Amino acid sequence: MKDNIFLDTNVALDLLGEREPFYNSVAKIASLADKREIQLVVSALTWSTIYYLLTKFEDKELVKEKIRKFKVITETSDLTDKIIEKGLASKFSDFEDSLQYYCAVENNCNALITRNGKDFKESSIPVLSPDEYLTSLKNKFV
């Protein structure tokens, strides 16, 4: 059974913004999704955040094209009333992080990939950096 992996917005932004030194690790993860070895999930909230932030530095049409290509290898988790209510009732210190987390849970993700692991102390699923996730894959096949 292939992994169902949730990407936090910061990691998706690392990929689409080609932000160093983080880009290479998340690009490897995206490549696994492109080969259908894993499934990537992002929240609906991620798309607007990526567009907003990247268009501060890049052409709007280029950003839209990057998003279109990334959508091919990802599933989008709906941001429902149920998820919003869970986020509001949670002990997460950051509301946006709670929404990301409950999107991951709602979509039965095996792990949440982020560079801000400390923000997900309340998580019941593994929270890993991109490098930690790639290392875990190596360990699975040893």
> What per-residue confidence (pLDDT) applies to 45?
94
At which residue do the structure tokens 């992080």 appear?
97
> What per-residue confidence (pLDDT) applies to 138?
79
**Which range of residues forms the domain containing residue 117?**
4-140
Task: Give the chain's residues under pLDDT 70.
Answer: 139-142
Distance of CA 72 to the CA centre of its chain: 14
Whole-structure pTM over 0.85, yes or no? yes
> What per-residue confidence (pLDDT) applies to 114?
96
Nearest-CA neighbor of 96 among 35, 18, 8? Answer: 8
CA pair distance 50, 64, nearest whole angstrom:
10
Packed helices 44-54 and 9-16: angle between N→C axes, nearest 10 degrees:
40
Number of structural domains the chain divides into: 1
CATH number, domain of 86, equals 3.40.50.1010
Q: pLDDT tens-digit profile of 101-142?
A: 999 999 999 999 999 888 898 899 999 999 999 998 876 654
> What per-residue confidence (pLDDT) applies to 80?
95
